[in-house]
């Protein structure tokens, strides 16, 4: 800590991240697990991103959004995982005040952007199933690009508002964060200032990004279910539901874990549970998203087979 000029109190210049210090005997195991999760997340999302970019058969609105989600998940996990991994072998798991606020800004921006992107993907599924004859006209490349850019701008703007309010708070100690990254709930509990204004901002943004996004998703799937039930063919109903199952699974995992962390009443007993839920949406879900969208997706499997055949033919050509 450092003494602030013109004040008789101290100002926090750095924070201590406790991380998983409650499990000192499992340091190597936890490091290996989280390193494996991080590497798999990076490789799987990068592979999916590259596959969609390279295969012209996947240049449709649905895979355009999936491509951006894969890139977003790479950035999302990278905002917290490298620092967490490096802290496993640090005696003093410290982070500067500036570094803490920067980490929060990017983590929050990417999380809010993902909320918006998941809502746009639900609208895309609505257009594909409920308005199939007009799908190409509705989901034009220009509109798709605008929706992605709009999601990014909205997410970063929402995070910037919270950051500005956070920087108005005063931190005079203690400076110990019982978490593995700098998140807003933990920072607010350490502030010596009145956090009422920031709590109001969080409530407003929760309505904008949480409830409105969920409402868009629910309305879209309401129309989708109504349309699918009108399909007389069992095979047609199954095919329609399969195109939505992956997205609905990703939405459920993302929002359920986020709701537990940010809307569940905080207490000392819930800190460990909150930390586990944070691991789910910061690391596990970005790792699972490529599998969720690929395992039962015939078009991605076909694209992967074409890619394998192309590599195999190139090897045969070089050997010949």
* C-beta separation of 289 from 45 below 8 A: yes
Structural domain count of the chain: 1
Please check the confidence at residue 2 and state whether its pLDDT lies above 60.
no
Q: d(Cα 290, Cα 24) in Å, to the nearest integer?
A: 32
- For residue 8, the model assigns a pLDDT of 43
**If pLDDT is split at 50, 70 and 90, which confidence band does 6 have?**
very low
- For residue 218, the model assigns a pLDDT of 94
> 286: domain CATH number?
1.20.1070.10
Strand partners, 14: 96
* C-beta separation of 312 from 60 below 8 A: no
pLDDT digits (tens, 9 = 90+) for 231-259: 888 777 877 777 788 889 899 989 888 77
Q: What percent of the chain has pLDDT over 70?
A: 91
Please check the confidence at residue 4 and state whether its pLDDT lies above 50.
no
Q: What is the pTM of this model?
A: 0.90
Which residue from 263, 210, 101 is spatially nearest to 166, judged by alpha carbons?
101
pLDDT digits (tens, 9 = 90+) for 265-316: 555 555 667 788 889 889 999 999 999 988 778 889 888 888 877 777 767 6
Count CB atoms within 10 A of the CB of residue 184: 19
* Greater pLDDT, 160 or 306: 160
Mean pLDDT of the chain: 88
- For residue 217, the model assigns a pLDDT of 95
Q: What percent of the chain has pLDDT over 90?
A: 58
- For residue 23, the model assigns a pLDDT of 84
Cα dihedral 134/251/165/76 (nearest 10): -100
- For residue 264, the model assigns a pLDDT of 65
Mean pLDDT to the nearest integer, 34-47:
96
The boundaries of the domain holding residue 111 are: 2-319
Count CB atoms within 10 A of the CB of residue 62: 22
- For residue 60, the model assigns a pLDDT of 94
pLDDT digits (tens, 9 = 90+) for 173-230: 789 998 999 999 889 989 999 999 998 998 888 888 888 999 999 999 999 999 988 8
Mean pLDDT to the nearest integer, 34-60:
95
Count CB atoms within 10 A of the CB of residue 204: 12
- For residue 267, the model assigns a pLDDT of 52
pLDDT digits (tens, 9 = 90+) for 127-142: 999 999 999 999 999 9
Which residue from 209, 313, 311 is spatially nearest to 263, judged by alpha carbons?
209
- For residue 1, the model assigns a pLDDT of 43
Which residue from 222, 220, 219, 293 is spatially nearest to 254, judged by alpha carbons?
293
């Amino acid at each position: 800590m450092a003494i602030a000029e013109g004040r008789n109190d101290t100002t926090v210049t750095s924070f201590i991240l406790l991380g998983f210090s409650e499990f000192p005997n499992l340091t190597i195991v936890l490091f290996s697990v989280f390193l494996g999760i991080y590497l798999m997340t990076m490789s799987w999302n990068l592979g999916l991103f590259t596959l969609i970019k390279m295969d012209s058969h996947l240049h449709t609105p649905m895979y355009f959004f999936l491509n951006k989600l894969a890139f977003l998940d790479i950035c999302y996990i990278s905002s917290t995982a490298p620092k967490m991994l490096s802290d496993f072998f640090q005696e003093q798991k410290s982070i500067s005040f500036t570094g803490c606020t920067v980490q929060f800004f990017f983590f929050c921006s990417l999380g809010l952007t993902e909320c918006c992107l998941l809502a746009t993907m639900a609208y895309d599924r609505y257009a594909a199933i409920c308005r199939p004859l007009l799908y190409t006209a509705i989901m034009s490349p220009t509109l798709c690009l605008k929706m992605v850019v709009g999601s990014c701008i909205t997410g970063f703007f929402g995070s910037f508002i919270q950051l500005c309010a956070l920087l108005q708070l005063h931190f005079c100690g203690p400076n110990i964060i019982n978490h593995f990254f700098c998140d807003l709930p933990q920072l607010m509990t350490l502030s010596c200032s009145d956090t009422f204004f920031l709590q109001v901002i969080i409530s407003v943004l929760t309505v904008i990004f949480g409830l409105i996004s969920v409402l868009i998703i629910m309305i879209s799937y309401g129309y989708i279910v109504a349309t699918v039930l009108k399909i007389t063919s069992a095979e047609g109903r199954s095919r329609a539901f399969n195109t939505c199952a992956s997205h609905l699974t990703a939405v459920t995992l993302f929002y359920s874990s986020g709701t537990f962390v940010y809307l569940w009443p905080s207490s000392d007993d819930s800190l460990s549970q909150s930390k586990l839920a944070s691991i789910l949406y910061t690391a596990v879900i970005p790792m699972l998203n490529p599998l969720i969208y690929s395992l039962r997706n015939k078009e991605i499997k076909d694209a992967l087979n074409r890619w394998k055949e192309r590599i195999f033919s190139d090897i045969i050509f070089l050997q010949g």
